[in-house]
Amino acid sequence: MKEIQSLLKRARRYLKTAGTLIAEKDYESSVSRSYYAMFYSAEAVLLSKGLFFSPHKGVLSAFGEHFVKSKLFPTEMSKELYRAFKRQLSDYEYTFVIDVEEAREILKNAKSFVENVRQYLKAKGLLTR
């Protein structure tokens, strides 16, 4: 599916951007990019089952329901997705600050999330590379 490949390509690009933003000391923006990398990966894997949800909480909930509860992915992936979602909301609170350690940890978890989804989709024959 072209949509799945496109979402994964965007997710990988956002991971790269998140790393660049950490280097630039823009930790809040880095967390936002890390979250969106995870979000687009979750959308991609939901599409692999013909599922589409909106808004963000719908995607997060559906990922848990269809992939974590069924043990296709570990519970930790859902927890990290929700954590990144909550932390990226700091974009809307001027008094909230994310430090470099948290930005790095969320990026590390996002990389793992995206890679796990990529491997799953590859095993299902839905990715060419």
Domain boundaries in the chain?
2-123
Residue in the structure block whose two tokens are 């949509």 = 3
Q: Identify each DSSP E strand in 59-126 by its residue range.
A: none
Residue 55 has a pLDDT of: 85
Choices 3.30.160.270, 3.40.50.300, 1.20.120.330, 2.130.10.10: CATH for 2-123: 1.20.120.330
Provide the 3-class DSSP secondary structure of residue 97.
coil
Q: How far is CA 113 from CA 38, 65, 94, 116, in A?
A: 6, 16, 28, 5
The pLDDT value given to residue 95 = 62
Question: Residue 39: what pLDDT?
Answer: 97
Is 74 within 8 Å of 68 (Cβ atoms)?
yes
What does each of the 129 residues of the chain score in pLDDT, given as a tens digit? 799 999 999 999 999 999 999 999 999 999 999 999 999 999 999 999 999 888 888 999 999 999 999 999 999 999 999 999 988 776 566 667 889 999 999 999 999 999 999 999 999 998 876
> How far is 124 from 49, CA to CA, in rounded Å?
11
CA distances from 14 to 50, 67, 75 (A): 24, 23, 23
